[in-house]
Structure 1
Amino acid sequence: MNSKQISILGCGWLGLPLAVDLVSKGINVKGSTTTATKISELEKEGIMPFLLKLGEANQEVSKDFLKDSEIIVVNFPPKRIPNILQVYTQQIAGILPYISSTQKVIFISSTSVYQNTNDEVFETIDVQPEKASGLAVAAVEKLLQEQLGERLTIIRFCGLIGYDRLPGRFLANKKEVLNGDAPINVIHRDDCIRLILAVIEKNSWGEIINGCADQHPLRKEFYTIAARNIGLTPPSFIKQETIVYKIISNTKSKTVLGFEYKYPDPLKLI
Structure 2
Amino acid sequence: MTDNQRVSSEIKSISVMGMGWLGFPLGKFLAKNSHHVKGSTTTAAKVKSINEAGAKGYHLALPNLDNSNNFFETDILIISIPPSIKGYDEVINALLKQVIQHNIPWVIFVSSTSVYPNTGGLVREEDAEDIASAHSGVRLLEVENLFRNNPEFDATIIRFAGLYGPAREPGRFLAGKTDVKGADIPVNLIHLDDCIGIINKVIEKEARGQTFNACAPNHPNRKDFYVKACKSLGLEPPRFNAEPAPFKIIDSGKLMNNLQYQFIHENPMDDL
TM-score by length of structure 1 reads 0.92
Secondary structure (helix, strand or coil) at the match of 1:124 reads: helix
Uncovered stretches (5+) of structure 1, i.e. residues with no partner = 82-86
**Alpha-carbon distance in 1 for matches of 2:54, 2:98:** 24
Report how far residue 134 of structure 1 moved: 5.8
Partner AA of 1:31 in structure 2 = G
Q: Is the 8 Å Cα contact of residues 40 and 58 (structure 2) preserved in structure 1?
A: yes
1:247 to 242, 246, 249: 249
Aligned to 1:91: 91
CA-based RMSD of the aligned residues comes to 1.6
Aligned to 1:258: 260
Q: Which stretch of the first structure deviates more once superposed, 141-150 or 183-192? A: 141-150
Aligned to 2:79: 74
Partner AA of 2:225 in structure 1 = F
Aligned to 1:163: 166
Uncovered stretches (5+) of structure 2, i.e. residues with no partner = 1-7
Q: Is the 8 Å Cα contact of residues 110 and 134 (structure 1) preserved in structure 2?
A: no
Quickly say closer, same or farther: Cα 1:126–1:191, change in 2 above 3 A: closer
| 1:60 maps onto 2:67 in alignment | yes
Pairing 1:233-244 to 2, within 5 Å after superposition? 233-240=236-243, 242-244=244-246
Aligned to 1:84: none
TM-score by length of structure 2 reads 0.91
**Alpha-carbon distance in 2 for matches of 1:53, 1:121:** 37
1:109 to 108, 111, 130: 111
**Alpha-carbon distance in 1 for matches of 2:141, 2:37:** 27
Q: Is the 8 Å Cα contact of residues 72 and 104 (structure 2) preserved in structure 1?
A: no
Pairing 1:7-22 to 2, within 5 Å after superposition? 7-22=15-30
Q: Is the 8 Å Cα contact of residues 41 and 57 (structure 2) preserved in structure 1?
A: yes
Deviations 1:50-75 (A, max 9, x none): 1113223x3121x62111x1111000
Quickly say closer, same or farther: Cα 1:243–1:39, change in 2 above 3 A: same
Secondary structure (helix, strand or coil) at the match of 2:125 reads: coil
Partner AA of 2:71 in structure 1 = F
In the TM superposition, structure 1's runs of 4+ consecutive aligned residues that sit over 3 Å from their partners are none
Q: Which stretch of the first structure deviates more once superposed, 244-253 or 126-135? A: 126-135
Quickly say closer, same or farther: Cα 1:158–1:225, change in 2 above 3 A: same
**Alpha-carbon distance in 1 for matches of 2:90, 2:147:** 12
**Alpha-carbon distance in 2 for matches of 1:4, 1:33:** 21
**Alpha-carbon distance in 2 for matches of 1:126, 1:150:** 22
Aligned to 1:31: 39
Q: Is the 8 Å Cα contact of residues 6 and 72 (structure 1) preserved in structure 2?
A: yes
1:232 to 214, 235, 242: 235
**Alpha-carbon distance in 2 for matches of 1:254, 1:149:** 28
2:54 to 43, 46, 52: 46
Q: Percent identity?
A: 39
Deviations 1:204-246 (A, max 9, x none): 0111101100100111110000001111110001102x43100
Deviations 1:80-106 (A, max 9, x none): 66xxxxx32221110222224452010
**Alpha-carbon distance in 2 for matches of 1:48, 1:265:** 35
Partner AA of 2:167 in structure 1 = D
From the two aligned structures, give the one with the greater helix fraction: 1
Q: Which stretch of the first structure deviates more once superposed, 142-151 or 29-38? A: 142-151
Q: Is the 8 Å Cα contact of residues 63 and 90 (structure 2) preserved in structure 1?
A: yes
